[in-house]
Amino acid sequence: MAATTSRRIYAWPLAACIFIAAFGSPSNAADRPIALQPRLERAISREKSPQLRLALTKFYQLKSWVLAWQDSDLAQTVRATLASAADQGLPAASYLSVVGPNTPADADVQLTAHLLRYARDVSEGPARPADAGVAARSLQHIAATLALAARNSADLRQYLAALPPDHAAYLALKRAYAHYRLLAANGGWPQLPAVRRIRLSSPGPWLDLVRNRLACEYPSLRQADVETLRRTIKRFQAHVGLTADGIIGPKTISALNIEPAERAAQIAANMERWRWMPRHFPTRYIEVNTASAILQAVDRGATVLRSRVIVGKAATPTPDFMTDALAIIVNPVWEVPRSIVQKEILPRLRRQPDYLSQNHMVMENGNVRQLPGADNALGRVKIDITDPFSIYMHDTPARTLFARDQRHLSHGCIRVQEILPLASWLLTGSLDGGISRIETAIADGTTRRIALSRPVTVYVVYQTAIVGSDGRIDFVPDVYDLDSDLITSMFGTRPLPGTTKEAPSHGCRTTD
């Protein structure tokens, strides 16, 4: 899929609805637990969500049916946390709205309800898919831990601070999110004309626009010479998934014209995806980012292998999933999926009766297998993984395709450029320690399965905003067109909290 079409995001003013509940004196008989319980239960019954009603009941049961937020420090901690939800890429206004509480019990329950939803959303994501690989905690579990933490303000602050992911990538996205929101609030940046090319060799107003636009992200560029500008353009192109050739053509101009509010929304979507990930990764694991078509093998927190991969095209996308690598299969047999048999092989057989023999394939009872060999679609090595989608990780005879910048070409399976180092690492923990063993097995010509000493977890994810090698955020084209729906699911209509509706000043006024 082509990169996501730029759309201006019109943000609403952030409504900071801070309500003050006038709690009665604890000494008043009406405020004793025996009198408060029915009031709190009535307030809980007004919540629309059954899950939230159960969680609120659990919370107040554990609090012995008293008002939870009478202590001003506790209440202020909660309100300050909810007011800062936008810093986590969340729609802060949804945690601050007040639906006319008319009693202390109503106000207390409403504040607790907002906090429960925030705790769930900031830790697990408001748009978490039902089939996410890591089990979600129930609201009742969150209510139980919150009730324990709400004993004093120190414990509560510690609990709330630990809710968001603490992965380095998430924290980098959070910083970048604040940066682009600030750029958006200050008016954005200049828009370039939709022309075929802006030449660096032709000084003029368009080139000045390019320099001013890039200076919004690279401030030292304002007085740069042409060669420095060319290097910066290449740097920018690399950061947005374009060929870094220094040519300011239509794709580069389009990328430069994506507004900071749009970039911030893209970052928020990827912060959300990080909330779906486990809090703690295994010692050794593989991550495949299908958006960037890059695989990383990670050992004790360090990336030991980075490889290009070929993944599913837009029509047949590679899904997100978590699985285990169990073995290495050399000289694999390809069991051709029925969909490919029906849509591709059978039509070819009608035109070319010897197609099967020419491709070392056999058909039995309508099933097609491709025998091991140099032309096998799985290549010489396959990583044996378990998943519900029949997705393979494997070698390929068409290795020239790895040179392409755009590598969304498969029916969904994952072809790995550095397949031998990856297989060696899985078997021995070394990128080269197992290669000779694998090559010997390949030379034998027979299909062989070599089990791993222990399974290695594989995460297949879709991240369109990632931390680059220089620490800046790289933006990857949204090939599967998933960002837009995710942003809409989180915010409603692609809004961006914290931006303005004022006319752009293009001042790029930040306080970095």
pLDDT in tens, 60-81: 999 999 999 999 999 999 999 9
> What's residue 497's pLDDT?
44
How, if at all, do strands 334-335 and 393-394 pair? Answer: unpaired
Mean pLDDT of the chain: 87
Residues 480 and 314 sit within 8 Å (Cβ to Cβ): yes
- Residue in the block written with tokens 């040519």: 247
H/E element, 473: strand 473-475
> What's residue 387's pLDDT?
81
Both tokens assigned to 222: 């304002």
Asked if the model's pLDDT at residue 19 lies above 60, the reply is: no
> Model's pTM, two decimal places?
0.86
Instruction: Give the Cα separation of 111 and 103 in Å (integer).
Output: 13
> What's residue 21's pLDDT?
37
> What's residue 220's pLDDT?
74
Instruction: Give the Cα separation of 197 and 194 in Å (integer).
Output: 9
> What's residue 390's pLDDT?
85
Residues 323 and 287 sit within 8 Å (Cβ to Cβ): no
Query: What does the domain layout of the chain look like in residue ranges?
Result: 29-165, 292-333+372-461, 337-370
For the chain, what percent of residues have pLDDT higher than 90? 73
Both tokens assigned to 2: 């082509």
Residues 70 and 153 sit within 8 Å (Cβ to Cβ): no
pLDDT in tens, 177-231: 999 999 999 889 989 998 899 988 887 788 888 888 998 888 777 667 888 889 9
> What is the rounded average pLDDT of the residues 152-164?
96
Identify which of 431, 412, 192, 451 has the alpha carbon closest to the alpha carbon of residue 321: 412
> What is the rounded average pLDDT of the residues 376-390?
92
> Cα-flanking dihedrals φ and ψ of residue 317, to 5°?
-70, 150
Topology of the domain comprising 292-333+372-461: L,D-transpeptidase catalytic domain-like (2.40.440)
